[in-house]
Amino acid sequence: MTQAPQKPTPASPVQAPARLRVVAIGLALASSLALGGYVYAQQQGGGSGDGAGPTRPTLPPGARNPGRAPTPVVPPRAAPAPQVPDSQTAPELDAAPEVDRSPRVVPDNRGNALAAGQARVDQLERLFRSVVGEVRRDGNVMTMQIEGIDVTVVTDPAAGRMRIVAPVAPQSALNAGLMTRILQANFESALDARYAIAQGALWATFIHPLLPLTDEQAVDGLGQTVTLVLTFGSSFSSGGLSFGGGDNSNALVEELRRRQRDFDESI
């Protein structure tokens, strides 16, 4: 005879509360254990439960060496406040000097030099007339003849310069040998006067500042310039002293100097 399957018997009302009490006790025990571990970890310097290992607690100064007293911490000394002088006792400052803004007048030195230069040209004209005789003047240029040589005196009062020139020969007549001899003469026997080439010609010339030029230097300049023309091709000498080489024919220079001395005595 087949027995009918038995149906499970439901728990009685008395057994259900007993199981719940067992579960509640387990949860309480687990919570107590977890709380105890957290407290222990905090006492040992552990982390906050983020997985990091326990860290060493920071000791106060002197704790590692109980025999040494902790070093006192001295706060930094504050800088003294700047002293502000009392407005009543502070010294008074000197007033700034007044600036002279009046227009300044610059003397016309150029005009004075021009007038002095022009006066010197007039003096030279009188000197040359006494020494040479006839002198033709056109403004600041004077022309005359000495020993049949045409001589021109060019003056520039504004620049304060003067120049005596006399033609010697065309430049086309000069060969290499003459050019070398001319340069030698400029070094040793031409002295104050010089040979020079300009405008396709060979010239004898004497150049000097206008105002410092004395009467004696002006007369020597005339004589040396003319003598260079007369001695071209022979001694190439100006007639004065030379440093060596060539003839020292200074008869013309001496004659002009004698006439200049006579002119000085007549003044």
Residue 214 lies in a domain: yes
Instruction: Using the predicted structure, report yes or no on whether residue 266 has a pLDDT greater than 60.
Output: yes
51 phi-psi bin (left φ>0, alpha ψ -120 to 50, beta other): left
- The answer to whether residues 86 and 79 touch, using CB atoms and an 8 Å cutoff, is no
CATH number at residue 155: 3.30.1460.10
> Is 159 inside a domain boundary?
yes
pLDDT in tens, 229-252: 999 999 898 875 444 444 444 666
- Any domain includes 123: yes
Mean pLDDT of the chain: 74
What's the predicted TM-score (pTM) here?
0.54
The pLDDT score that the predictor gives to residue 258 is 78
The average pLDDT across 22-45 equals 57
Domain that holds residue 218: 114-266
Does residue 55 form part of some domain? Answer: no
* Domain-located, residue 171: yes
Check pLDDT > 60 for residue 183. Answer: yes
B/e letters for 168-188, b = 16+ CB within 10 Å, e = fewer, are beeeeebeeebeebbeebbee
| Residue at 162 is within a domain | yes
Total domains, the chain = 1
Q: Is residue 84 part of a domain?
A: no
The predicted structure's pLDDT at residue 175: 96
Read off the pLDDT of each residue in 205-211 and give the average, rounded to a whole number.
95
pLDDT interval class at 202 (50, 70, 90): very high
Residue 140 within a domain: yes
Place of tokens 């982390």: 47
